[in-house]
Structure 1
Amino acid sequence: MTLTATTPFRPLAELPPPALSEREWLLECHCARPVTDLLKDQGWDVVADLDCNVHCSSPDRRVYVGFLPESREAARGELWHIHVTDKDGSAAWRQTVGPDTPAQAVAGFLGALIASPTHYCTCI
């Protein structure tokens, strides 16, 4: 028996995007996996502690990402912690993200951070 397709297969990237009114925006996913998978693929260290918090360090140890659901900060609405240090070890900037933000959005933010080849802004 031979099966033939009536419509050719088109990879997802070739499919037209849905109209904005039909799009399903990120609304859920409050686990760490989208972020940890991204960071592991980039060579980051990813460690879970006994309290189920997840700690991630960039290969140069200058960026820390923490998924801290069992911390006092999470009770105040700070689930994700991102800390960037300067070359001399001083704090450059920090960002916290609350539990209502989908993990895919946090992964997208970190993906953009990783993709930036320099700390210089092109508008300066």
Structure 2
Amino acid sequence: LGWAIVDTPGANLHCTSPDGRVYVGWLPEDPGSWHRGIVWRAQVRPTDAAAWTQEFGVHTPSEAVAGFLAALVANPTR
């Protein structure tokens, strides 16, 4: 749906929404994230509020991350 998707030679995947306000990363090979046990990162920069980040660890089921992202996309004004 218009998201920019970039995959790296290190197997990381970066996705940015068309308006640039939402970023989702799959970061299994990112040293800074992996060191902390993080493999998923979602960052949101609302137009009317402070930016926030949600991170998910190596033991988080992918279905839970998918559910979180589905809720995020279904409620774009929140």
Identity of aligned residues (%): 52
1:75 counterpart = 2:50:
no
Query: Which runs of 5 or more residues in structure 1 are unaligned?
Result: 1-41, 120-124
Give me the whole-angstrom Cα distance separating, in 2, the residues matched to 1:91 and 1:83. Answer: 11
Greater strand content:
2
SS of match in other structure, 2:11: coil
Give me the whole-angstrom Cα distance separating, in 2, the residues matched to 1:104 and 1:45. Answer: 22
Query: Which runs of 5 or more residues in structure 2 are unaligned?
Result: none
Q: Could you tell me which of 37, 51, 55 is aligned with 2:10?
A: 51
Larger Rg: 1
The TM-score, its normalising length taken from structure 2, stands at: 0.85
Give me the whole-angstrom Cα distance separating, in 1, the residues matched to 2:9 and 2:46. Answer: 30
1:1-124 map, 5 Å: 42-72=1-31, 73-87=33-47, 92-119=51-78
Give me the whole-angstrom Cα distance separating, in 1, the residues matched to 2:62 and 2:18. Answer: 21
Moved over 6 A (4+): none
- Relative contact order (alpha carbons < 8 A, sep ≥ 6): 1 or 2 greater? 1
What's the offset of the Cα at 1:61? 0.8
Change (3 A) 1:85 1:99: same
Aligned residues: 77
* C-alpha RMSD over aligned residues: 1.8
The TM-score, its normalising length taken from structure 1, stands at: 0.56
Give me the whole-angstrom Cα distance separating, in 2, the residues matched to 1:82 and 1:117. Answer: 14
